[in-house]
Structure 1
Amino acid sequence: MDLEFYKKQAQLKQKDHRKFLDGLKKKPPKNLDYLVVEKHDETFQEIDCLGCANCCKTTGPLYVEKDIERISKHLRMKPADFEAKFLRVDEDQDKVLQNLPCFFLNDDNTCSIYDVRPKACREYPHTDRKKIYQINNLTIQNTLICPATYVFVEKLKKVLEKN
């Protein structure tokens, strides 16, 4: 997967994508949630996350207490030991990874804790959300990191500009 190509495309289309997504916020189509899921599913039939894993290499998820408890139990560690070994508190007082790429990312781009991964990882890149216009800034930001998010926005834009 050519990450540089997708990142350049996303940079070139930032204003266009922002204008499109802001338009959804002002006047969301009645069938928007349906179209979002449809375009999300189409996108992920075309794009294989394991061919990329840029999110795991460049961004760290937020770890909430439930994540910490679930993952530390899976790793047979005390939550405090898990936090000390893997997490730090950022400027927003959120618990995040100490280092990137993610410690749990395997060489083949699989996740060693996939079944118990953080909620933020399970939901990323958030392209199947209801009322997607509520996260416009996040979606724009994710187009620069995740090729699938860029493709998703392009697909959604194409189908809605036809109507």
Structure 2
Amino acid sequence: MDLENFRLQSSSEFSKNKKLLPKLKKMKAKALDNAFEEAHDAKFRNIDCLTCANCCKTTSPIFLQTDIERLSKVFNMKTSVFIDTYLKLDEEGDYVLQSSPCPFLNQDNTCLVYEERPKACREYPHTNRKNMHGILNLTLRNTLVCPAVFEIFQDFAKDFRK
């Protein structure tokens, strides 16, 4: 995966993708959820996240208390020590990683804590969730992080031009 080329392309297309949001917001909830789920399934039949891992290299998931407790046990640490070692509070008061790339990202793009990874990592890039209306702005931002989400938006843009 050529991440530099992806960054340039996704940035240059961001305003076009943003213009797609009002059209997507006009769709009925079930139709939007189904469209995203179908697109998600189709993209991830052909995309291997291990060739990219841009999400792990550039962003942080939100760590829920249950995530913190689970990962603290994995590392045999007190939760307070885990927080002090790896996390910080963001502007919204959520726990996120102190730095990027993720400290649990291995050289081969695998995850050191894959079986115990945070809920946000399990659900990323959130394109096969219910209530897509509620996360369209997040999904738009994810076009800058995840090549699959970017491609989904590109495909949707083509569909709306038809």
Residue pairs, 1:94-133, within 5 angstroms: 94-133=94-133
Residues 17-45 of structure 1, C-alpha deviations (whole Å, 9 max, x = no match): 12222212123375332221111011111
Task: Structure 1: state its 5+ residue gaps.
Answer: none
Task: Structure 2: state its 5+ residue gaps.
Answer: none
Aligned counterparts of 1:122 and 1:28: Cα–Cα separation in 2: 26
TM-score (norm 1): 0.89
Structure 1 pair 35–100 and aligned structure 2 pair: CA distance change class (3 A)? same
Q: Is the 8 A contact 2:29 2:131 kept in 1?
A: no
> CA RMSD of the aligned region, Å?
1.8
AA in 1 matched with 2:41: D
Q: Which 10-residue stretch deviates more, 19-28 or 106-115?
A: 19-28
Aligned residues: 162
Aligned counterparts of 1:80 and 1:92: Cα–Cα separation in 2: 20
Structure 1 pair 78–12 and aligned structure 2 pair: CA distance change class (3 A)? same
Give secondary structure in 1 for the equivalent of 2:111.
Answer: coil
**Runs of at least 4 residues off by over 6 Å:** none
CA deviation after TM superposition for structure 1 residue 129, in Å: 1.9
Give secondary structure in 2 for the equivalent of 1:31.
Answer: helix
AA in 2 matched with 1:129: R
Q: Is the 8 A contact 1:22 1:133 kept in 2?
A: no
Q: Is the 8 A contact 1:51 1:109 kept in 2?
A: yes
CA deviation after TM superposition for structure 1 residue 99, in Å: 1.9
Q: Which residue of 1 aligns with 2:65?
A: 65
CA deviation after TM superposition for structure 1 residue 159, in Å: 4.1
Residue pairs, 1:19-98, within 5 angstroms: 19-28=19-28, 31-98=31-98
AA in 1 matched with 2:32: L
AA in 1 matched with 2:55: C
Structure 1 pair 69–12 and aligned structure 2 pair: CA distance change class (3 A)? same
